[in-house]
Structure 1
Amino acid sequence: MTTETSAPRVALATCSVLPDLDGDDAPLVRALGTRGVDAAPAVWDDPDVDWDAFDAVVVRSTWDYSARRDEFVAWAARVPRILNTERVLRWNTDKGYLRGLEEAGVPVIPTLWLDPARNLSSRAIHTRLPAQGDFVIKPVVSAGAKDTGRYQSGEAHSRGLAIQHAKNLLVSGREVMVQPYVTSVDTAGETGLVFVDGELSHAVRKNALLTGPHRPTRGLYQQEEMSPFTATDEQVAVAQNALAVAADAVADGDASSFLYARVDLVNGNDGGPVVIELELTEPSLFMALAPGALDRFADAIAARVRR
């Protein structure tokens, strides 16, 4: 740990596929260095890493965790001073948190939850799928749109693929989410609002990812097309409400305790913003797309490690 004469040490947790960090996060090492903080990437499941040697661990590109969520959360519980905290990561790595947001009045996409413990037959799955419009199937624990597909309710072949997709996930023991596909994504995309220390840093826009049935994804995630964006007051308000609910659940009501957060929104059927995901675990922050974003994040980390 830090002594009076040594620089604070920070581990930027990543995965073995990206041992030197994702390209968006790599500049953090230099930015923290200019602030007198010794930062280095460290692979979260590398048994040779001495986590006690760091003053803080900032979770970044740990994007292979979804297949081993329990192992990931157990690791977070062992690591001293992890940001965001293990309590936050445990809550946020299961998309069941959307239930809590909805119960608190935050607009979210309507979701049907399929439990693997019920051993649903293909016919039972069929009767639960939407009768109209496109819909999306995804596992409750997932990252980067992996194991996610878009289907057409009125097209027999597409519906058959959807049933098989859901069945495969359930048989593997994974809870499944079924959501209507929000058509505004095709034209307006998704909006991601990035927060640092509970304050809005910047916003980005993401083009539609889901164009058809689930197919195996090469790599850790599907490639995204991102661009800078200016969020509306209504979008900011919805995102702040979502963070407030999360803070009540896992941060003693203090949203500023979240070092980082990204709230992903789409336009609902009424045109208003709807939460599609609240990312408190390992979201890309797209710092290169917003002037000053890297400095804001580095300042926040440096301030925390010196507390």
Structure 2
Amino acid sequence: MTTLGAIIRPQLPPERFRGLVQLADRAGLEEVWLWEDCFLEGGVSSAAAALAWTENVRVGVGLLPVPLRNVAIAAMEIASLQRMFPGRARVGVGHGVQEWMGQVGARVESPVTLLREYVEALRALLRGERVSVQGRYVRLEDVQLGWPPQEAVEVLVGAVRPRTVRLSGEVADGTILSEVTPADGVRRAVQLIAEGRAASGRGGEHAVVSYLLAATGDGAHDRLRAEVEGKGLGDVAGLGVAGDAKAVAEAVLRLVDAGADTVVLEPTGDEPDPEGFLRFVAEEVRPLVP
């Protein structure tokens, strides 16, 4: 069965977060996702609060920018979430927006090299291994978690460009594809992931999480068009969906047919009713998605 989720965008103030995640939990939504966008809400703190306030909904962080977080600290945070809330946290890591990384003095010369080193070290730490590594960016000496996860932990990588998508197949357990990736892009990403996995000799399953920009209700088409054009992507065919539950469900299924196993609906930045959007996803779209 396709997993369906919704994003709570960080443009909303933190004090609204509790009511939104509890609504999603009551409505039976499978997943809510949040972003650690600079310079808004913290990803780990928000995820921990959301998990504590709810009982069943899974909480995804998409994503933690690796230049901002020492890999040992990230491993400690992820392990703590997994031990306190087993099976309910999904955490992705990625390059981060390079302009933001530059603003805080964290931009690196080779983001791909950093991401490779980081994910390999992170996965080893989360397996409970004692890790020593002297990479170009990641340097650890005899580091081991005192409280590693009690079961295997999924590490996701957020990716847009082909090189990073392929790298996610090589080193990660899953890939997060942003809202700028239409169905054809998901299909191509799945091919690149497979190439990366083959190159590294990896077997087993690889999760593909795909965001889908969506708008419903009054002015939906105008809001979607403004969002897409604001991203400079007005000429990209098949990006986002506006309309009723049937139209949104059909767009979800196009991504599933292309290879996504989790689709996360992303409201526009000017969504006038965030609570209504969550109810729409859980109560109207979910029944139409097998």
What is the TM-score with the length of structure 1 in the denominator? 0.28
Q: Which has the larger radius of gyration?
A: 1
- The structure whose residues are more often helix, as a share, is 2
